[in-house]
Structure 1
């Protein structure tokens, strides 16, 4: 004998609605958990590697003419490019670097865990751009992506960035790869006095270096313990990014990526925010 059970329409509709609600809630929860997991890992799963999808928020008020940095232009140079290692012939070709030639670019370094310098510089640069934009500045980046299928730009293009605008200053952001035991900390590199190349900007660049050093120190970032002098300043004549600039410029090695403590700061949102806040204070101090 077969028993037939008739389920009332009302009960059936209620059951299916409840099931749909449960599936919806669990689905949303899964999306939230997965999205949070992806954010914590900070990996762009659609592009592979350490590329980025989203820009940090930039608040844009209707009237920013009275903002502290209104009318100012800042160039930010995020060191290297994530895909440089995929284009060895392109990045190894020689380009002008200020009276001599150097390779177009390099691959950059990485933490011991594989977090690339290019990605660290890119993420700090975007945070810095957001802060400066909020203060009224016009901000120009020397590269606008962080992708495995891109390379460059070369050091000569980076060096000349901002010359024709003209910008008020330029900051190039990097991470060091020193393998000496215990080597850690930031240092700021400024150009030396070179006739025909940096004579017109070396003094103002030194002032910018001093402002950025003071701001990073005040933020609790340790000064490099492996650079001669031990004061967090370095002056070099061999960098095309500095030699070809006609505006005050510095290169900031934010830390040693091979050092665990520096690497922790560079690979966390809180650490990168610390860098961006300090660099912003340095820019404001320099521009008065």
Structure 2
């Protein structure tokens, strides 16, 4: 063999050895064994390779899916929301002490200050903050929303107006928290008015249906019912409910003097859970 042939043969052997050495090193490399997103991917079928990638967002498939999406459940309905009490009530005892019609032939004080937690978180603020969250949730569900007050710095309105302002709505929800002196008391309860105020038998029945649905949805959301009120409460002494001519409920969302309830009522997460439960209950009672 000539010197040129010997040289060519040696170069070929060295090249083969280098290739074999490189494959062995890569195969043993940890970076090749840790790639779950590629291992689990399904290979493209022949038809997929032939037809190309899926349609981009906004193409006809996405539009068809959007067209089939359900409409907002409370679309076309108007919901009245009454955040209990008001931030200026305490500084205006003369105004809130005036007598107003109670809806059953008697009178009531215009309003009250409300209760508060042991660390000073007031019921009126809970009611207002939850009303803001509820307004957003109702709007997202397609409803129009009317509020009995527009901020947490005013006085009133009086309890008769808190019922009558909902006359053009489809339902009224009044937001409160309870103030039982015993700080071991805990949990929510829901109140509906019987017929005999401005509501007829049909409206009273619808109020009870709404109240029952609300209690169920709150329990589904993880809130506990106050064992002292193991069923829907029906009362004829609440002027807000007596002055409502539409299905109406009052929610006592928890016990302000109970430390655990107070933390939940003050939290954004708790207020959101309450708001979503109210939307779901209105959907059950008014739509389903």
SS of structure 1 residue aligned to 2:127: helix
Instruction: Give the distance between the partners of 1:254 and 1:191, measured in 2 at CA.
Output: 17
**Superposition map of 1:111-190 within 5 A:** 111-147=117-153, 150-163=154-167, 165=168, 167-190=169-192
Structure with the higher fraction of residues in helix conformation: 2
Instruction: Give the distance between the partners of 2:199 and 2:206, measured in 1 at CA.
Output: 14
1:227-286 CA distance string (max 9 Å, x none) = 3xx23x211000110011110000000000000110010111111111111111111111
Structure 2: gaps of 5 or more residues? 1-69
Q: Look up the match of 2:208.
A: 206
TM-score (ref. length: structure 2): 0.73
**Superposition map of 1:218-237 within 5 A:** 218-227=220-229, 230-231=230-231, 233-237=232-236
Q: Look up the match of 1:242.
A: 241
Structure of greater Rg = 2
Instruction: Give the distance between the partners of 2:106 and 2:187, measured in 1 at CA.
Output: 30
Q: Look up the match of 1:38.
A: none
The alpha carbon displacement at 1:196 in A equals 5.9
Q: Look up the match of 2:75.
A: 70
SS of structure 1 residue aligned to 2:156: coil
Change (3 A) 1:249 1:84: same
Instruction: Give the distance between the partners of 2:111 and 2:89, measured in 1 at CA.
Output: 8
Instruction: Give the distance between the partners of 1:73 and 1:272, measured in 2 at CA.
Output: 21
The alpha carbon displacement at 1:68 in A equals 2.1
Instruction: Give the distance between the partners of 1:72 and 1:238, measured in 2 at CA.
Output: 28
1:78-101 CA distance string (max 9 Å, x none) = 000011001000000000011110
Aligned 8 A contact 1:184 1:226 in 2: no
Note the aligned Cα RMSD (angstroms): 1.5
Instruction: Give the distance between the partners of 1:198 and 1:108, measured in 2 at CA.
Output: 29
Structure 1: gaps of 5 or more residues? 1-64
Aligned 8 A contact 2:198 2:245 in 1: no
Aligned 8 A contact 1:198 1:244 in 2: no
1:113-151 CA distance string (max 9 Å, x none) = 00010000111111111011011110000000011xx20
Change (3 A) 1:225 1:66: closer
1:27-49 CA distance string (max 9 Å, x none) = xxxxxxxxxxxxxxxxxxxxxxx
The alpha carbon displacement at 1:201 in A equals 1.6
2:85 matches 1:86: no
SS of structure 2 residue aligned to 1:201: helix
Pairs aligned (count): 217
Aligned 8 A contact 2:183 2:257 in 1: no
Q: 1:105 aligns with which of 107, 111, 130?
A: 111
SS of structure 2 residue aligned to 1:261: helix
